[in-house]
Amino acid sequence: MEKILNWGLLSTAKINQELIKPLRASKRTRLLAAASRSQVNADAYAREWKIPRAYGSYEAMLADPEIDVIYNSLPNHLHAEWTINALRAGKHVLCEKPFALSLAEVDAMIAAAQETGKVLTEAFMYRHHVQTIKVKEIVDSGALGKLQLIKGAFSFMLARQGNYRNIKEMGGGSLWDVGCYPISYARMILGEEPLEVFGWQVEGPGGIDESFHGQMRFGSGVHMQFDCGFKSHSRSHMEIVGTEGVLYIPQPFKPGLKTEIQLTRGDEQQRIRIKGSELYLGEVEDMCEAAIDGNAPRISLADSRGNIAAILRLLESARTGKPLQM
């Protein structure tokens, strides 16, 4: 009989709802438990989503020997602490983005994964989608010629007062929340880390960046420009520019079941239609392939560390008003 991974949800965060459906769709997973900071909340959440076990503390769920994988959807400032706790409790961990808020935290998480031999990977769902894989194939094929520029944006109107995204001490700010996506996308496309970064930010209440405008320069000669924010109309796109063509991705971070990207070469514009998949299923199956089959996760720990390093330098650049070497 094939191994089934029992999953536990660490928190009752809204993002959990995106994972519940694929956890139930996968033949190799079972959603077994959810944990909250009170038993009343945990019981109510478990009833609402028909989850068999409810725990009134995070520690109690980590002590359950039947749970194989923890999905860490806690606010950003708790990612490192509770990922490390889960790994040391013998659980594999899928940790929401951003992975952590400092390189010291990232390194401690990596060390815990290496010490325990458990799988740890970051939940950047778009990385597993067919569209992303197709974009990477087109770029790597040389269809765009020599790459010169990558541009991206991810913004929306954040209306919820008191949301952790507005609290600096909890890892709030638009760069941590949505700017991490275009940064990740550019690094994934190029397969390299930036040499230099420069950022500007518009500060909101409490010192968070309500909007952020950044640039990255890569050793291959490619430049990357992006913006993100909580106070602009919803926007989400990536553009990859080369000497021979341009590839435009209208929905790079949340592609759906049917997607379309646009390849322009000379006077010819080609619309490439892609039959997609359930967006969050890929990261669930990726964990199964790593934890059961022994495959390397699609998103490596070095990759996650590189993204956090770039974010931190961009924030420092915005604070000092100077371009910074990586």
| Average pLDDT along the chain | 96
167 pLDDT higher than 90: no
161 pLDDT higher than 80: no
Q: Are strands 29-35 and 258-265 parallel, antiparallel or unpaired?
A: unpaired
Question: What tokens appear for 310 in the block?
Answer: 């770039």
CATH of domain 127-279: 3.30.360.10
Q: How many residues does the chain have?
A: 326
Q: Is 188 helix (H, G, I), strand (E, B) or coil?
A: helix
Determine the pLDDT at residue 163.
82
CB contact at 8 A, 11 and 62: no
Which CATH code of 1.10.10.10, 3.40.50.2300, 3.40.50.720, 1.20.140.10 fits the domain covering 5-123?
Answer: 3.40.50.720
Determine the pLDDT at residue 205.
81
Closest CA to 71 of 287, 309, 303, 319: 287
Among 71-80, 158-167, 228-237, the least confident range: 158-167
Choose between 263 and 168: higher pLDDT: 263
Q: pLDDT tens-digit profile of 75-95?
A: 999 999 999 999 999 999 999
Q: Is 263 helix (H, G, I), strand (E, B) or coil?
A: strand
1 pLDDT higher than 70: no
Question: What tokens appear for 32 in the block?
Answer: 């077994």
Q: Show Cβ contacts of residue 75 under 8 Å, excluding neighbours closer than 6 positions.
A: 13, 164, 170, 171
Rounded to a whole number of angstroms, the distance between the first and last alpha carbons of the chain is: 49
Which residue has 């080609």 as its token pair? 270
Determine the pLDDT at residue 320.
97
165 pLDDT higher than 90: no
Global confidence as pTM: 0.96
58 pLDDT higher than 90: yes
| Percentage of the chain lying above the pLDDT 90 cut | 93
| Percentage of the chain lying above the pLDDT 70 cut | 99
Where does CATH 3.40.50.720 sit in the chain?
5-123
Q: pLDDT tens-digit profile of 31-45?
A: 999 999 999 999 999
Reported as half-sphere exposure (CB side, CA atoms, 13 A), residue 55 has a value of: 17
Question: What tokens appear for 138 in the block?
Answer: 């087109």
d(CA 186, CA 224): 7
